C-alpha cells in the first residue's frame, strides 16, 4: 500500500511514485511538515479515525535542566474530584522521556489564533534535534516550574503524574491537576478547525495577478514561493509595521524625516540628496543596509524600504536572508522601544473590506519601496517619501474606517508620484535622458552576460567592468529600456536584448551558454540547465544561487560573473532571436523628454486630424492566459492612433511593425514601469496645450498588471483623478467586491473585455 498520511494535518499521499522514493525534502502540501511526519495508512480504520474530533494542546515537561514540549490531541478529563486528566503520548517523543523522568506536566489549551509557527516547532520538529523554546520563545514559567504558552492559549493546567499505562507505541499517563489558570474566553482550537483552517495557517498570499484560482495562494505560490517563505515574509512585514509604529511614536532627539543630518534638498529638481548615505552595502541579511546611516532614523527607513522590496513577487525566495533581515529590523525596533502592534495571523484576516484596503496600501508601499530603493542607490532620497513609509507602515497596524483607508490610499498615490519623480530624476541625472534606439534581438557569437531586473546602477557597474574584456552584455525582460540611456549605450558591449518578458525566462535561459544576473524581480525558480549560471544581487535571493553583494563603498565586484561568461564562451555562431510576433528588433527610448520635445509636432498632428487618439497600453507582462488581449488591442487599434507603452507588457507587441504617423512610429516605448511618471508628465503637458483636463484628452489608459509596482502606479493615477482606466487581465484578488465597486463608481475603473469591444467603446 502506498498511501501515507500526514500525522499533522491528515493529508493522504496516494501518488504513483512510492512514498519512499519521494525526495528527502518532500513536504506535506497542506501543512508543510517534513516527510518523516507521514505514517503508512496501515489499516482500514485510519481514515475513519480522522473523523474523531479533539482539542489541541501543548504539553510541556522538563528534566536534566532542559525544557521540552509537543502538541497532543489525546487529552481528557477523567474525574472532576479529584481533578484528574489522562493523556497519551508516543514513546519516541523527547517529551515522553521527560514526563516519565520528572512526573511533572503543564498543559497549554490552544486557541484558534495559534500560529503555524507553533505547530512547526512543537509538532513538526523533535526536541531531540532542536531547542524548541529557543525557536519559540513566547513562553512563561508556571508554578510547577514548567514552561507554557500563554499567548495562544485560553487556560493552563499544571500537575503531577501518578500513573503510566503501557499502550504499545504510546504511554497513557494519568495525572492530577495541582494548579490551573484561565487566560481568556477564546475558543479552544479543535483538530477539525485546525485542518479546515490549515490553509490560512499554511500560507496566504494574494498580492499578484497570477494568484491561485484568482483568490489567493494557500498551499504553495504559483510563483514558486513556498509556505515557509510566505511565512517568513509575513513575519518580516509584521516586524516592519512594528518598527514603523515605534519610530512614529518615538521621535528620538528629533530623528524624523528632514531632521537627520546629511540630507539636503535639491530645490531645482524637488529631489533630496543624501550624499553621505546614498550607498548601500550588504549587511548580515545580504540585503542592503547603509553603513553610513545604519543607526539613524534614515537607516531604519532604509531597512523598511529594503524589507518591503524583498517581499515583492519574484524578488526573494531565500528564507535565511529574509529571516536575517527580520532580525535586523527587530533589533532596530529595540532602539525605539516599541512593542508588537500586529501579528502574522492577523495580517490578511478580518473584515474582508478592511483586509482589502489594508492589503492594497501594503502592496502599494511594496511597489513604492522598489522605486525608493533604486533612487537611493543613485544617491537620491526625498524626506517626504521617507516619512510616508513610516506613516504608511504604521497605519497598517492601526484600525481605520473604510473612508479613512480610502483617504490614506489617495494620499499614498500622491506620495508615490513624488517617489517616481525622484527615480526619474535619479536615472536621468546618472544616465542621461533616454533617446530613441533600435535594439537588436540577435546574440552575436562569443562570451556574453544577460542582465535582467530594473537596477540600472548594477548594469552600469557591470558595463564598466566588462569594458575591453571581450564579453558582451545583453538585457533581458525589465532591463530593455537601458538601451535608451546615453551613459549606458556608450559602452559598445551593450549589444542588444536577449529573449522577451520575465515569464519566459525558464524556457529562454534553458542551456544558455552564459551567466544571467538578476538585479531585481522577476526571478523565477530556475531550471536545472541554468540554475548554476544564475547570479543574484541586492534584495534578490534564491537558495543556492550565487549572490554578489556590494562592498562597503557600494561597489559590486562582478569579476566572478565575467569569468564565468568567459568559461561558458557563448554561442559559437550568431543567433537571431525574435520577439513574440516574429520581429527581429524593437525600438525604445521615447522617454518624457523626447516626447515633450516633439510636443508641437504631436499637437499639430492631433489638430490636423492625423492622430485621432492615444492609448497608453502598458504595465506588467505575465504568464496567465488573457494577455493576448493587449496584442490584439494594438493590432486592431486604427492607423490614426498612437500607442504609448511602458514596462514588460510591451513585449506582447513591441516587435510589431504597425507603421508611423509622420516622424513618429505608432508604438512609442516610454520606458519601464516607473516611467509612468514620464507618461503622466506628457499627459499633463498635452492637457495644458489643449486647454483641457487630462480626462478630456483623446487618451485612454489600458493597463496590464502583475506585481505590486503596478499597484502603486494605479493608486497614483487614481489619486490624480484619472478616470476610465481599463485594467486587466483580471481584477486584483485583494479588491473586495465592495472596494472594487467603490473604485468603479468613483473612477470608472473598467475591467478589460475584448479588444474589439473596448476599442469600440473608447473610440465610439
Ligand atoms: Fe501567489 Fe503571487 Fe503571492 Fe506568489 S506572489 S504566492 S503567485 S499571490
CB 72 within 8 A of CB 89: yes
pLDDT of residue 334: 87
Compute the distance from residue 386 Cα to the ligand 1 centre, in Å.
Answer: 27
Tell me how far CA of residue 310 lies from CA of 253, 325, 604, in angstroms.
Answer: 30, 9, 46
Alpha-carbon distance 460 to 377, whole Å?
A: 12
* Confidence band, pLDDT 50/70/90 cuts, at residue 102: very high
Q: Which atom of ligand 1 is nearest to the CA of 203?
A: 6
Using a pLDDT cut of 90, give the percent of the chain over it: 74
| 413-436 average pLDDT score | 97
Task: Please tell me if the CB atom of residue 313 comes closer than 6 angstroms to any atom of ligand 1.
Answer: yes
For residue 266, pLDDT over 70 is answered with: no
Dig out the grid coordinates for 101 from the structure. 523522568
- The CA 260 to ligand 1 mean position distance, Å, reads 37
| Unique residue bearing C-alpha cell 546618472 | 430
The residue with greater pLDDT, 507 or 17, is 507
Instruction: Say yes or no: CB of residue 205 within 6 Å of ligand 1.
Output: yes
pLDDT tens digits, one per residue of 638-663: 999 999 999 999 999 999 999 999 88
Q: Which of 419, 414, 391 is nearest to 301 (CA)?
A: 391
Identify the pLDDT of residue 482.
Answer: 98
d(CA 62, CA 380): 55
Q: Which element (helix H / strand E) includes 680?
A: helix 676-690
- State the SS3 of 528-580: CCCHHHEEEECCCECCCCEEECECCCCCECCHHHHHHHHHHCCECCCEECCCC
Locate the ligand 1 atom nearest the alpha carbon of residue 209 and give its number. Answer: 2
Closest ligand 1 atom number to CA of residue 230: 6
Which element (helix H / strand E) includes 105?
Answer: strand 104-110
pLDDT at 287: 43
Residues 6+ apart with CB under 8 A from 124: 8, 31, 32, 33, 34, 37
- Mutate which of 32, 203, 209, 211 for ligand 1? The one with the most ligand atoms within 8 Å of its CB, which is 211
Q: Is 359 in the pocket of ligand 1 (CB under 6 A)?
A: no
Cα dihedral 229, 233, 236, 242, rounded to 10, equals: -140
User: Among 222, 312, 503, which residue has the most ligand 1 atoms within 8 Å of its CB, making it the best to mutate?
Assistant: 222
Q: With the C-alpha atoms ordered 133, 134, 139, 144, is the resulting torsion angle positive or negative?
A: positive
Query: How confident is the model over 697-711, as a mean pLDDT?
Result: 96
225 CB less than 6 Å from ligand 1?
yes
Spatial separation of the C-alpha atoms in residues 549 and 537, rounded to whole Å: 6
Question: Looking at residues 522-535, what average pLDDT do you find?
Answer: 94
Q: How far is the CA of 230 from the centre of ligand 1 (A)?
A: 9
Residue 466 has pLDDT above 80, yes or no: yes
Please list the residues that pair with 266 across neighbouring strands.
271
CA distances, 534 to each of 45, 378, 526 (Å):
49, 25, 8
Flag whether pLDDT at 104 surpasses 90.
yes
CA distance 590 to 440: 17
Cα 43 from Cα 399, distance rounded (Å) = 51
* CA-based nearest residue to 554, from 174, 292, 272: 292
Does the C-beta of 222 come closer than 6 Å to ligand 1? Answer: yes
Q: Considering Cα of 717, then 718, then 720, then 726, what sign does the dihedral take? A: positive
Residue ID of nearest Cα to ligand 1 atom 5: 313
- Please name the residues in contact with 123: beta carbons below 8 A apart, sequence gap of 6 or more: 8, 33, 37, 70, 71
Q: Is 293 exposed, middle or buried (0-12, 13-18, 19+ CB in 10 A)?
A: buried
Candidates 32, 206, 207: which one to mutate for ligand 1, based on the most atoms within 8 Å of Cβ? 207
662: left (phi over 0), alpha (psi -120 to 50) or beta: left
Cis ω before 522 (30° cut-off from 0): yes
Q: Which of 204, 212, 221 to mutate to test the pocket of ligand 1 (most atoms within 8 A of CB)?
A: 221
CA 57 to chain centre: 34
Q: How many angstroms does the Cα of residue 187 sit away from the middle of ligand 1?
A: 31
What is the 300 CA–ligand 1 centroid distance (Å)? 27
150 CA → ligand 1 middle, Å: 33
Our answer on whether the CB atom of 217 is closer than 6 Å to any ligand 1 atom is yes
**Of the ranges 290-294, 341-345, 473-477, 622-626, which is most confident?**
473-477
Which has the higher per-residue pLDDT, 135 or 646? 646
Amino acid 255: pLDDT: 54
Distance 664 CA to ligand 1 centre (A): 39
Tell me how far apart the terminal alpha carbons of the chain are, to the nearest angstrom. Answer: 65
**Cα dist. 344→60, 113, 196, 240, 492 in Å?**
24, 10, 19, 12, 49
Q: Is the CB of 223 under 6 A from ligand 1?
A: yes
Determine contact, residues 116/123, Cβ cutoff 8 Å.
no
Residue to substitute in 202, 203, 208 for testing ligand 1 pocket (most ligand atoms within 8 angstroms of CB): 208
List the Cα angle 738/742/747 in 5-degree steps.
Answer: 150
The answer to whether the CB of 641 falls within 8 A of the CB of 666 is yes
Residue pair 603/690 in contact by the 8 Å Cβ criterion: yes
d(CA 175, CA 139): 22
Q: How many angstroms does the Cα of residue 364 sit away from the middle of ligand 1?
A: 15
Is residue 102 within 8 A of residue 63, CB to CB? The reply is yes
Probe ligand 1: pick from 203, 206, 224, max atoms within 8 Å of CB? Answer: 206
CB of 316 shorter than 6 A to ligand 1: no
For a substitution probing ligand 1, which of 199, 203, 205, 366 has the most ligand atoms within 8 Å of its CB?
Answer: 205
As a whole number, mean pLDDT of residues 759-763 equals 97
pLDDT at 254 over 60: no
pLDDT value at position 253? 40
| pLDDT band of 493, cuts 50, 70, 90 | very high
Round to whole Å and give the CA distance between 130 and 508: 42
The label of the residue with cell 490553509 reads 199
Strands (E), 560-705: 575-576, 585-588, 613-619, 641-645, 660-661, 664-665, 667-669, 699-704
pLDDT over 60 (residue 200):
no
Closest ligand 1 atom, CA of 205?
3
Q: Whose alpha carbon is nearest atom 3 of ligand 1? A: 205
- Which tops the pLDDT comparison, 112 or 391? 391
Atom of ligand 1 nearest to the CA of 216: 8
The rounded Å distance from CA 226 to ligand 1 centre is 10
| CB 758 within 8 Å of CB 726 | yes
Distance 174 CA to ligand 1 centre (A): 47
| Average pLDDT of the chain to the nearest whole number | 90
Cβ(211) – ligand 1 distance below 6 Å: yes
472 and 495 in contact (C-beta within 8 Å)? Answer: yes
Q: How far apart are CA 308 and CA 219, in angstroms?
A: 22
Contact status, residue 472 vs residue 498, Cβ threshold 8 Å = no
Cα–Cα distance for residue pair 560/556, rounded to 1 Å? 11
Give how far Cα 441 sits from Cα of 49, 513, 581, 586, 682, Å.
61, 16, 12, 8, 29
Residue 116: band (very low, low, confident or very high) from pLDDT cuts 50, 70, 90: confident
Q: Which three cell numbers stand for residue 735?
A: 479588491
Ligand 1 pocket, residue 207 CB under 6 Å? yes
pTM for the model stands at 0.77
User: Atom 6 in ligand 1: which residue has the minimum CA distance?
Assistant: 221
- Is residue 753 over pLDDT 80? yes
Mean pLDDT of 693-717: 96
pLDDT (tens digit, 9 = 90+) per residue, 18-77?
A: 888 888 777 776 666 678 778 888 777 766 777 788 999 999 999 999 999 999 999 999
* Lowest mean pLDDT across 220-229, 323-332, 364-373, 451-460: 220-229
Closest atom of ligand 1 relative to the 314 alpha carbon: 5
**210 ligand 1 Cβ < 6 A:** yes
C-alpha cell at 229: 517563505
Which residue's CA lies nearest to atom 2 of ligand 1?
208
The neighbour count for residue 532, using CB atoms within 10 Å, is: 12
In ligand 1, the atom with minimum distance to the C-alpha of 313 is 5
DSSP state of 731: -
Separation of CA 19 and ligand 1 centre (Å): 28
Q: What's the CA gap between 548 and 546, in Å, rounded?
A: 7
**Residue in the block written with cell 529573449:** 499
To the nearest whole percent, how much of the chain has pLDDT over 70? 92
Helices H, strands E: what count in the chain? 23, 35
Helix (H, G, I), strand (E, B) or coil at 521: coil
Is any ligand 1 atom within 6 A of the Cβ of residue 708?
no
Digit-coded pLDDT (tens) for 349-390: 889 999 999 999 999 999 999 999 999 999 999 999 999 999
DSSP-derived 3-state class of residue 91? coil
Give the residue-averaged pLDDT of 388-397. Answer: 97
pLDDT at 285: 44
Alpha carbon of 206 to ligand 1 centroid (Å): 6
Query: What is the position in ligand 1's atom list of the atom closest to the CA of 206?
Result: 8
Amino acid at each position: 500500500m502506498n498511501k501515507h498520511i500526514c500525522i499533522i494535518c491528515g493529508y493522504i499521499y496516494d501518488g504513483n511514485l512510492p512514498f519512499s522514493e519521494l525526495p528527502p525534502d518532500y513536504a506535506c502540501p497542506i501543512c508543510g511538515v517534513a516527510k518523516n511526519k507521514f505514517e503508512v495508512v496501515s489499516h482500514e480504520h485510519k481514515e475513519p479515525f480522522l473523523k474523531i474530533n479533539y482539542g489541541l494542546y501543548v504539553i510541556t515537561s522538563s528534566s536534566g535542566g532542559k525544557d521540552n514540549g509537543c502538541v497532543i490531541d489525546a487529552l481528557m478529563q477523567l474525574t472532576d474530584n479529584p481533578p484528574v486528566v489522562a493523556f497519551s503520548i508516543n514513546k519516541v517523543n523527547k517529551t515522553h522521556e521527560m514526563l516519565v523522568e520528572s512526573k511533572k506536566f503543564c498543559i497549554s489549551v490552544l486557541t484558534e489564533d495559534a500560529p503555524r509557527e507553533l505547530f512547526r516547532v512543537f509538532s513538526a520538529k523533535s526536541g531531540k534535534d532542536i531547542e524548541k523554546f529557543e525557536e519559540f520563545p513566547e513562553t512563561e514559567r508556571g508554578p510547577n516550574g514548567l514552561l507554557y504558552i500563554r499567548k495562544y492559549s485560553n487556560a493552563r493546567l499544571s500537575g503531577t503524574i501518578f500513573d503510566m499505562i503501557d499502550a504499545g507505541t504510546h504511554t497513557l499517563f494519568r495525572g492530577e491537576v495541582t494548579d490551573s489558570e484561565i487566560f481568556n474566553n477564546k475558543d479552544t482550537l479543535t483538530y477539525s478547525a485546525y485542518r479546515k483552517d490549515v490553509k490560512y495557517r499554511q500560507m496566504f498570499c494574494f498580492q499578484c495577478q497570477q494568484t491561485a484560482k484568482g483568490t489567493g495562494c494557500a498551499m504553495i505560490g504559483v510563483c514558486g514561493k513556498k509556505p515557509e517563505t510566505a511565512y517568513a515574509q509575513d513575519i518580516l512585514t509584521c516586524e516592519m509595521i512594528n518598527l514603523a509604529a515605534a519610530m512614529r511614536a518615538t521621535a528620538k532627539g528629533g530623528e524624523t524625516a528632514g531632521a537627520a543630518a546629511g540630507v539636503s534638498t535639491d530645490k531645482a529638481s524637488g529631489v533630496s540628496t543624501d550624499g553621505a548615505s546614498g550607498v548601500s552595502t550588504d549587511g548580515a541579511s545580504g540585503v542592503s543596509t547603509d553603513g553610513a546611516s545604519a543607526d539613524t532614523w534614515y537607516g531604519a527607513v532604509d531597512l523598511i524600504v529594503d524589507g518591503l522590496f524583498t517581499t515583492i513577487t519574484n524578488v526573494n525566495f531565500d528564507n535565511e536572508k529574509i529571516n536575517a533581515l527580520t532580525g535586523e529590523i527587530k533589533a532596530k525596533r529595540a532602539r525605539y522601544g516599541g512593542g508588537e502592534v500586529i501579528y502574522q495571523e492577523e495580517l490578511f484576516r478580518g473584515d474582508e473590506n478592511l483586509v482589502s484596503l489594508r492589503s492594497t496600501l501594503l502592496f502599494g508601499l511594496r511597489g513604492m519601496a522598489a522605486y525608493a530603493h533604486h533612487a537611493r542607490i543613485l544617491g537620491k532620497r526625498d524626506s517626504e517619501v521617507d516619512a510616508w513609509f513610516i506613516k504608511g507602515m504604521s497605519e497598517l497596524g492601526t484600525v481605520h474606517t473604510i473612508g479613512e483607508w480610502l483617504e490614506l490610499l489617495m494620499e499614498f498615490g500622491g506620495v508615490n508620484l513624488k517617489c517616481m519623480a525622484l527615480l526619474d530624476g535619479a536615472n536621468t541625472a546618472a544616465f542621461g535622458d533616454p533617446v530613441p534606439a533600435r535594439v537588436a534581438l540577435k546574440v552575436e557569437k562569443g562570451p556574453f552576460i544577460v542582465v535582467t531586473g530594473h537596477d540600472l546602477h548594477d548594469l552600469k557597474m557591470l558595463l564598466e567592468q566588462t569594458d575591453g574584456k571581450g564579453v558582451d552584455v545583453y538585457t533581458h525582460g525589465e532591463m530593455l529600456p537601458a538601451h535608451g540611456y546615453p551613459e549606458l549605450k556608450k559602452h559598445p558591449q551593450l549589444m542588444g536584448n536577449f529573449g522577451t518578458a520575465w515569464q519566459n525566462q525558464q524556457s529562454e535561459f534553458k542551456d544558455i551558454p552564459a551567466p544571467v544576473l538578476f538585479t531585481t524581480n522577476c526571478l523565477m525558480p530556475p531550471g536545472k540547465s541554468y540554475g548554476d549560471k544564475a547570479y543574484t544581487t541586492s534584495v534578490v535571493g534564491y537558495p543556492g544561487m550565487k549572490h554578489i553583494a556590494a562592498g562597503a563603498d557600494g561597489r559590486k565586484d562582478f569579476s566572478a560573473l565575467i569569468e564565468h561568461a568567459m568559461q561558458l564562451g557563448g554561442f559559437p555562431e550568431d543567433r537571431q532571436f525574435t520577439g513574440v510576433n516574429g520581429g527581429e528588433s524593437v525600438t525604445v527610448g521615447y522617454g518624457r523628454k523626447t516626447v515633450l520635445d516633439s510636443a508641437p509636432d504631436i499637437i499639430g498632428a492631433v489638430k490636423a486630424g492625423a492622430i485621432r487618439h492615444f492609448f497608453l497600453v502598458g504595465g506588467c507582462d505575465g504568464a496567465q492566459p488573457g494577455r493576448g488581449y493587449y496584442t490584439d488591442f494594438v493590432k486592431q487599434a486604427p492607423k490614426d492612433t498612437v500607442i504609448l507603452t511602458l514596462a514588460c507588457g510591451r513585449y506582447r507587441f513591441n516587435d510589431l511593425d504597425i507603421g508611423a504617423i509622420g516622424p513618429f512610429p505608432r508604438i512609442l516605448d516610454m520606458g519601464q514601469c516607473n516611467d509612468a511618471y514620464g507618461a503622466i508628465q506628457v499627459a499633463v503637458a498635452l492637457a495644458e496645450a489643449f486647454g483641457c483636463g487630462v480626462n478630456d484628452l483623446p487618451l485612454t489608459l489600458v493597463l496590464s498588471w502583475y506585481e505590486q509596482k503596478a499597484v502603486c502606479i494605479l493608486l497614483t493615477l487614481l489619486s490624480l483623478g484619472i478616470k476610465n482606466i481599463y485594467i486587466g487581465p483580471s481584477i486584483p484578488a485583494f479588491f473586495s467586491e465592495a472596494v472594487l465597486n467603490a473604485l468603479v463608481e468613483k473612477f470608472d475603473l473598467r475591467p478589460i473585455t475584448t479588444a474589439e469591444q473596448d476599442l469600440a467603446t473608447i473610440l465610439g
